Amino acid sequence: YVGLVTGACLSSWGNSVTLIDIDSGRVEALKAGLCPIYEPRLQELLSCDHITPTCSLEQAAGGDVVFICVGAGTNPRDCSVDLSAVEQVAVGLERVVRGGQTVVVKSTVPPGTSEDVILRHLERNGKHAGRDFELCMNPEFLSEGRAVEDFMAPDRIVIGERVRGSGDRLVELYRPSRAPVIRVDLKTAEMIKYASNAFLAAKISLVNELGNICKSLGIDMYRVAEAMAYDDRIGSKFLNSGAGFGGSCFPKDLRALISIARQSGYVPGLLKAVEEVNQAQPLRLVQLLKRHVPDLRGKTIGVLGLAFKPGTDDVRESVAQKVVAQLLLEGARVVAYDPQAGANFRRLFPQVTYAGPEEVLQGDAIVILTEWPEFGELDYRGRIVIDGRKVPKARDEARIYEGLCW
């Protein structure tokens, strides 16, 4: 996601870009003009003549700037960050990096990784010791579903530098965005990404907890949030209460920061609570469903929305995974629809029936999990609807309607 968007957008600014990946199928798809993920505007940008997809890491030697965009996963044992993919790239780059290049870490990694891990590998044989190449940390702040827009017109650009002036080439590269540039040291740049995602995750969990309280009191949290948004200290973004956050960043980065804090000797109580609220939130939908369908065994439950958010086909840590797993555990038959994410979700849940929205609406009850705009055009008359994303038409038309936080 990060590498494709970064490469495509930089190419649209007139740069020659080489996209390198170890997945030959993905590379061949790109050569054939096919975008392997769904992201608005990305297919169009990838058709640029200045882009060369390849599996050859040696091609990195030809770049003035080399971006490391591979994922940093999670170690299941302690939720620490798995840096194996990042290290693999660093080891490979040791063979090909040349003097005068700028190597840029765009992967989300714990503070200290760029200098203690990546630089150590790049300089391991002494060949590149000193300052014959530059090392920078440039965290990404791309939201799936609007990643191209976020890259072209970001709120800010953060550049971490090993030594003062290391990021000069990056400043010039990003000039077309006209965004403010913050230049800091490597560790600070790495921490800015974790801190930003932790703050947004905390805001979501707080709003959801307030929504749960409002629900128990018979209050619509959305009316409460509408008034809160007028306070410029709070703002209007991320105030929609609902089924919780998912995706490739917030859950992973939150767990990683909790692990990083513990390793430093600090117990992050608030961050732990943010995660706990988010873990519990999706299953509240099933609890609401059972108010109206007490025994789910043998019942057909329609699920609208499988992606973790609209505008993407990404199902990583989506709310739908938790809800569908619980429905199946309780013996329900699940019929599901998503405009983009059905194929990805099928790999995780082949036992689910995948159908169009009309068939999903024929279930004994309907659960709405992703706020795709087209769900606001469906016919909910006569249905039982449990809504995790506040679809007004469902509220107005359903025979029985339950909102998660309203």
- Residues annotated catalytic, as ranges: 249
Cβ–Cβ under 8 Å, residues 180 and 40: no
Which pairs count as long-range contacts for 394-403, CB under 8 Å and 24+ apart, including other chains? Answer: 394/366, 394/368, 398/366, 400/292, 402/288, 402/289, 402/291, 402/292, 403/215, 403/220
Cβ–Cβ under 8 Å, residues 115 and 186: yes
274: nearest Cα among 255, 247, 256: 255
CA distance 341 to 339: 6
Dihedral Cα 381, 385, 391, 395, nearest 10 deg:
60
The total of other beta-carbon atoms located within 10 Å of residue 376's CB is: 12
The total of other beta-carbon atoms located within 10 Å of residue 207's CB is: 22
Cβ–Cβ under 8 Å, residues 391 and 398: no
Cα 374 to chain centroid distance, Å, stands at 22
